[in-house]
Chain A
Amino acid sequence: MIGVQEAVLSSTTTLSYRPLLAILCPATAAVLILLSSKRPNLRESWTILAGVLQFSLVASLVPTILDGKVVKCTFFETMFEGVAFGFKVDAFGLVFALTASFLWILVSFYSVGYMRALKEHAQTRYYFCFAIAIFGAVGVALSANLLSMFIFFEVLTVSTYPLVIHEQNEEALRAGHKYFAYLITAGVFLLFAIMLTYHLTGTTDFTNRGIKALAELGPAYKTTLVVLFFCFLLGFMKAAWMPFHSWLPTAMVAPTPVSSLLHAVAVVKAGVFGIVRIVCYIYGVDLMSSLGLGFVLACIAAFTMIVANLLAISQDNLKRRLAYSTINQLSYIILGAALLTSEGIRGAMLHIPFHGFMKITLFLCAGAIMVASGKKNISEMAGIGKRMPVTMLAFTICAFGMCGIPPACGFISKWFLCQGTLQAGEMVFLFVLLLASFLDVIYFFPIILTAFFKKPEGVVEGEGAAAVEVKEAPLFMLVPLTLTAIFSVLFLLDFILGLNIISFYFYRIVEVAVGNVV
């Protein structure tokens, strides 16, 4: 039935079963995890093995994409004519898939350290759901059309629920309700939008520069198109744009590895990924600007950026502050796409992996602090920089990156975003970008200040400094967060030196993607 062969079809499309294999890695791992629930070491090796395999499979697609080709893998025509179920890997999808699958390996190691150090319950369920969630996220990245994407989208929603309510106490269960109330409702809107798109055009394929039939509908359909766009936006509540963001801070009750990979990278990035897909591959840049939707979207993003940052300042719980920072940074990506200019889209696409690497470091640090010292609130973290120097150094670097300051790669994506605003001639949004970055500084620097320069309470002047001993989190946790921090710096170095190897070819892949859509 699945007659996929490794064969070159034409100069632009390659058929390959590698996307399917990449997806099957976490799916198989999930089954194996369930089967080996009694043997923790074996169970966790499956996760890591699947992660490595998946990443190598995804990475093996890079040369083909850099050649300007698209990798296709179609399973079957669905009952709806013109809609096939399958994968189509293009440059943009690859960016997301690379990020998610690479970070999964690191977070798997981290999870082992975290879950064992805290002696968490229901670890099999945790690893099982984690694997399914990655299955969903990479599926979203590789999908060829909206319907395939929707299926993985829902898998992602349902599989992350048990992770959010992992604690199983009253608070976690309530957070779970909120999580579902937002995300399943979003799914309903998304499904409606997809079916309406199909009804209007007869296709749901992601097409470079947008679906032609949609652009050719004519002025009579203008209202329909605007409504459709807002349905899509509501469908991508996973992107946590305001005012539909409050599920994300609530979801922070989950264990930290979940917050780090899923609620900083996989789930929320799937949301913004979807929005960029809609803007660039369903509507297309031209239709977006002729409908004036780009400006509307940019306004939503700008609003979210500023308000999220203002809210972040008032949070004392570190993870919640990071969650608001995530909401803000996601809107950078949305804004980049909404500018509808080549540099803006480049910045948006680059910000997906870059923010992923930086934010995951921050979350991993938060988890490490919790495991090593049991502290969750920023106000309690005085002097923690001396006790956990490596962790806090990584934190500092990436916090700098968040604000768009070297040496971390956040600087580059923000640079392109600013270029994008100039290219679009929208000085307002340039101002918003800079203001948001300034606000980033306001809520990140106090953390660094508290950690390094504030003396812990109850320590008497003089004797305290000597008494502080270094107590880092276990190596399983320390190494992954160090690595992600190092990568964040390397991406910047790479840009300056133009080597391209150490940065997973992100720059060149994004170059291809931008060339396709603008």
Chain B
Amino acid sequence: MFLGEHFPVLVVVISLFSAFTILLAGWWEKRTCLPISLATISVQLFMALYILREVVSSGEAIHYWLGGWAPPWGIEYVLDAFNAYVLVVVLFVCLLTAVFSKRSVEKELPGKVVQFYVLFQLLVTGLCGILVTGDIFNLYVFLEISSLTTYALIAAARGRALKASYNYVIFGSIGACFYLLGVGFLYAVTGSLNMHDLALLLPPLYENKVVQAAFVFFVVGTSIKMALFPLHIWQPDAYTYAPSAVSVVIAAAMSKVSIYAFIRVFFSVFTTKFLQIYVPIDTALCWVAAVAIIVGSVIAITQTNLKRMLAYSSVSQVGYIVLGVGLYSTQWGLYGALMHILNHAVTKGCLFVVAGAIIYRTGLLDIRDFAGLGKKMPFTCAAFTLAALSMIGVPPSVGFVTKLCLLAASLEAVEYGLVAVVLASTLLNLVYFWRVIERMYFVKPGREGKGAAREERAAREERAAREEKSGRKIMKDEAPVSMLIPALVLGSLCVVLGLLWLAGSATPLLPVVEQAVEGLLSTGVVK
């Protein structure tokens, strides 16, 4: 198929053009922004699915030379099972975020609708770019595009978000600089920027201190970006104070892309051979991840703001993925990591959508005020419950599957300490998520109401106005459909995907990850 060949580049380009179209169209009519964005992301998702199917059915990576320039001189886009899979995940989450954003942006960012969608579409462009490129400098460029748009999107919420965004700018820039230093070092030694080419050129230079320093820069740089403990300090504020829709997309999609970059550099530029012989950091990585899992959860327990709690939970969930990466030498380690990229995107996406819906409807931020919410917003709370159970790891949810993989991997590595960490994290997750569920459904309302926030008062007044208009008391006050759809889709996916993973090779899901893992481990090279 003629057009299909160009999908790797089109998936980025149409997104970029769409961003400018939104700007122009939004100038003329604000209401056109969302449909254009939705249409673009849908087309992108279709392309991503097409690419994924091609890659999986042929068993080989797709190479696309920009402008027909052959690598290593030209920029090459390479799509193997791994990035095609993450691309689908990310675009799917972005699509649902766009659906969710309709009402939330209208309310939270009035007068900035056009700006929001332009930046959002640019962010999607950046994310897709990171995922498709086979060139480490090109990856840096897209990383900056996505980061800069995120800084702006977070700051859009004003107030404390400005400080959060500023913090993120500082940390994000340091991270990006580190990454860029790594790129520079490698270029100085090899004269190449193409990942495949680097993987071929590097082996004789593995002992070179510059190469090893470059590796360290890469690891630290991407670690900051993905908020790996203890480099996560920018993250809780950013997630908490960002507009609801932005929280969803950075928590569910952007963090996954940073993790993708980490894994990609780890295995496809520096190969497993380098890791095993010259920089055996896998054990260290495992224990950093273990600390992240425990500390993230423990801090989450102490939080009373729902979004902040979810942010700290993300710190611990990133730990899960890194733990999987650290256990790459076992049969199930990388499986766990790659599966959790999807699992966490779905679960955390759902949780942040629900948090956004609750804020939209009731203005409540504090978990202690949630009593009786289960009656008021039954579907929203049901979605939350599904996702929370998945976080805890109740079977057959996606969280359970990840836990199984990580347990199997830790047992194979004979690391009983890690086994204990994974299991203990179940209990910690139970503590902080069940607290919310209990408030929603079982604690009788009016018992513990604490300090009504400004937003809550506004929401209450608004409800009173609506009650007056309709002339009856509103008992059930469900979130708007545009918020319910993403919440329920993601919530039910938490269970459905769990079953699909468990079903193993009977479904098309596991073979994709299998191929991705093979791709990362076998040659360590993007073919």
Determine if A192 and B423 form an interchain contact, defined as CB atoms under 8 angstroms apart: yes
B17 at interface (Cβ–Cβ under 8 A)? no
Per-position 1/0 for B430-447, Cβ under 8 A of A: 100010001001111000
Given A150-B395, A176-B442, also A80-B426 (CB < 8 A): no
Which chain B residues border A75 with CB–CB below 8 Å?
Answer: 503
Please name 22 pairs of A and B residues whose Cβ atoms are closer than 8 Å in the assembled complex, sorted by A. A1-B503, A75-B503, A76-B503, A76-B506, A78-B502, A78-B504, A79-B502, A79-B503, A79-B505, A85-B502, A151-B395, A165-B442, A168-B443, A173-B442, A176-B438, A176-B442, A184-B430, A188-B426, A191-B423, A195-B404, A195-B407, A195-B408
Q: How far is the CA of A76 from the CA of B500 in the complex (A)?
A: 10
Residues in A with CB closer than 8 Å to B403 are 191
Distance of B243 from chain A, by nearest CB (Å): 34
Closest B residue by C-beta to A167: B442
Q: Which residues of B contact A176 (CB under 8 A)?
A: 438, 442
- B243-254 vs A, CB cutoff 8 Å, 1 = contact: the mask equals 000000000000
A154 beta carbon closer than 8 Å to chain B: yes
Indicate which residue in B335, B395, B424, B430 contacts A180 across the interface (CB closer than 8 Å).
Answer: B430
What is the predominant secondary structure among interface residues of chain A facing chain B? helix
Q: Looking at A76, A168, A189, A198, which has the most chain B CB atoms within 10 Å of its CB?
A: A76
Query: Is B501 interfacial (CB-CB < 8 Å)?
Result: yes
Q: Does A77 contact B (CB under 8 A)?
A: yes
The reply to whether the CB of B411 lies closer than 8 angstroms to some CB of chain A is yes
A39 at the interface (CB under 8 A from B): no
Chain A residues near B395: list those with CB within 8 A.
150-151, 154-155
Interfacial chain A residues near B419, Cβ < 8 Å: 192
Nearest-neighbour CB distance to chain A for B56, whole angstroms, equals 17
**Residues of chain A lying within 8 A (CB to CB) of residue B444:** 168
A173-216 at interface with B (beta carbon < 8 Å): 173, 176, 180, 184-185, 187-189, 191-192, 195-196, 198-199
> Is A162 in the interface zone, CB < 8 Å from B?
yes
**Once the chains bind, are B504 and A191 in contact (CB under 8 Å)?**
no
Specify which chain B residues have a CB less than 8 angstroms from the CB of A76 in the assembled complex: 502-504, 506
Contact B404 A173 (CB under 8 A): no
Contacts of B396 in A (CB 8 A): 151
Assembled-state Cα–Cα distance A26/B394 (Å)? 20
| Interface residue A441 (Cβ < 8 Å from any Cβ of B) | no
Residue pair A199, B411 in contact (C-beta under 8 Å): yes
Contact in complex: B504, A188 (CB < 8 Å): no
Question: In the complex, what residue of chain A is closest to B392 when comparing beta carbons?
Answer: A184
A88-111 vs B, CB cutoff 8 Å, 1 = contact: the mask equals 000000000000000000000000
Chain B facing A: main interface SS = helix
Evaluate contact between A77 and B504: CB separation under 8 angstroms: yes
A154 to chain B, nearest CB (A): 5
Q: Kindly supply a per-residue 1/0 record for chain B positions 160-180, scoring 1 wherever the CB is within 8 Å of any chain A CB and 0 otherwise.
A: 000000000000000000000
Instruction: Add 9 more A-B contacts to A168-B443, A184-B392, A188-B427 (CB < 8 A).
Output: A76-B503, A76-B504, A150-B395, A176-B442, A180-B434, A184-B427, A191-B404, A192-B407, A192-B419
Q: Are A158 and B394 in contact (CB under 8 A)?
A: yes
Query: Are B443 and A1 touching (Cβ within 8 A)?
Result: no
Check A188–B404 contact: CB distance below 8 A.
no
Bitwise interface map of A from 149 to 176 toward B, beta carbon under 8 Å scored 1, else 0: 0110011001000100100100001001
Considering the chains assembled together, what is the distance between the CA atoms of A78 and B510 in angstroms? Answer: 10
Q: For chain A residues 58-90, which have a beta carbon within 8 Å of chain B? A: 75-80, 85
Chain B residue contacts of A85, Cβ below 8 A: 502-503
Q: What is the total number of residues of chain B having a CB less than 8 Å from a CB of chain A?
A: 32
Tell me whether B504 and A184 are in contact (CB under 8 A).
no
Q: Complex Cα distance A268/B108, Å?
A: 50
Closest 7 CB pairs of A and B: A79-B504, A151-B395, A76-B503, A199-B411, A195-B407, A76-B506, A188-B423
**B506: chain A residues within 8 A (beta carbon):** 1, 76-77
A77 touching B505 by the CB < 8 A rule?
yes
Q: Are A196 and B389 in contact (CB under 8 A)?
A: no
Tell me the bound Cα distance from A168 to B375 in angstroms. 14
Q: How far is the CA of A195 from the CA of B422 in the complex (A)?
A: 13
Which residue of the partner chain B has the closest CB to A166?
Answer: B442
Shortest distance between the CB of A4 and any CB in chain B (Å): 13
With contacts A180-B430, A199-B411 taken as known, whether A162 is within 8 angstroms of B504 at the C-beta atoms is no
Chain A neighbourhood of B404, CB < 8 A:
80, 191, 195
In the complex, what's the smallest C-beta–C-beta distance from A212 to chain B, in angstroms? 21
CA of A185 to CA of B427, assembled, Å:
7
List of A residues within 8 angstroms of B430 by Cβ: 180, 184
| Cβ contact within 8 Å between B426 and A184 | yes
List B contacts of A150 (CB < 8 A).
395
B501 cross-chain contacts in A, Cβ below 8 A: 79
Q: Report the minimum CB–CB distance from A167 to chain B (whole Å).
A: 10
Q: Are A162 and B442 in contact (CB under 8 A)?
A: yes
B412 interface residue (CB < 8 Å to A): yes
Would you give the shortest CB distance from B263 to chain A, in whole angstroms? Answer: 20
Chain B 373-430 interface residues, beta-carbon cutoff 8 Å to A? 389, 392, 394-396, 401, 403-404, 407-408, 411-412, 419, 423-424, 426-427, 430
Contact with B along A123-162 (1 / 0, CB 8 A): 0000000000000000000000000001100110010001
Question: Complex: how many Å from CA A154 to CA B407?
Answer: 17
| Known contacts A173-B442, A191-B407; A78 and B389 CB within 8 A of each other | no
A80 CA to B510 CA, complexed, in Å: 11
Tell me which of A1, A154, A155, A198 contacts B408 (CB under 8 A).
A198
What chain B residues lie within 8 Å of A77 (beta carbons)?
503-506
- Roughly how many angstroms separate A199 CA and B332 CA in the complex, as a whole number? 12
CB distance from A155 to the nearest CB of B (A): 8
Name the distance in Å between B31's Cβ and chain A's nearest Cβ: 37
Q: What residues of chain B lie closer than 8 Å to A184, measured between beta carbons?
A: 392, 426-427, 430
Residues of chain B contacted by A191 (CB below 8 angstroms): 403-404, 407, 423
- Knowing A158-B394, A173-B438, the reply to whether A199 touches B408 (Cβ < 8 A) is yes
Contacting residue for B510 out of A79, A154, A198, CB 8 A: A79
- CB-CB nearest in chain B for A192: B423
Give chain A residues whose Cβ lies under 8 Å from the Cβ of B423.
188-189, 191-192
Cα(A76)–Cα(B408), bound, Å: 20
Chain B: CB-nearest residue to A152: B395
Check B427–A154 contact: CB distance below 8 A.
no
